[in-house]
Amino acid sequence: MQGLNYTRLNSISNSVSPYRGSLNRFPIGSRKQNNKYFLVRDEEGQRVFDIVHGMNWKHITITKEEHDEYAKQGMPRLHNYQDHGTGKWEYYRYEVYPNILGVVRPDNTFEFTGNQYGQGDRGILSTYGHGNLSTDSRRGGMIWTGRVNGDGTRGAVPIYKGMRVHCETMRPIKPITVIGRKVDRKVGKDLLTGYTDFYMTTEVMTKAMDYDVFVKTMVEVLDEHTDKPEERRHQNWEIFRDKADKLLSTAPLDAAMLYIYAWDVGSMRWNVTRFLDTSYSRYSSYEDTPHTMFLNLKRRLNKEIYKQNDKVFKKVEYTNCEMYPPSEWGYTVMVDGVEVEQYD
Q: Give the model's pLDDT for residue 81.
A: 82
Q: Give the model's pLDDT for residue 234.
A: 61
Q: Give the model's pLDDT for residue 282.
A: 54
Beta bridge pairs of residue 132? 145
Beta bridge pairs of residue 319? none
What is the DSSP secondary-structure string of 224-273?
HH-S-GGGGGGS-HHHHHHHHHHHTTT-HHHHHHHHHHHTTGGGHHHHHH
* Structure-derived torsion over alpha carbons of residues 169, 172, 175, 176, reported in degrees to the nearest 10: -110
Task: Report the candidate in 298, 325, 308 with the shortest Cα–Cα distance to residue 182.
Answer: 325
Q: Give the model's pLDDT for residue 232.
A: 64
CA distance 102 to 172: 14
Q: Give the model's pLDDT for residue 272.
A: 82
Q: Give the model's pLDDT for residue 268.
A: 86
Our CA angle for 15, 167, 143, nearest 5°, is 135
Q: Give the model's pLDDT for residue 280.
A: 54
Q: Give, in order, the Cα–Cα distances in Å from 313 to each of 179, 180, 190, 296.
A: 12, 10, 13, 21
User: Which of the residues in the chain have pLDDT under 70?
Assistant: 149-151, 228-235, 276-287
pLDDT digits (tens, 9 = 90+) for 159-175: 999 999 999 889 999 99
Q: Give the model's pLDDT for residue 303.
A: 92
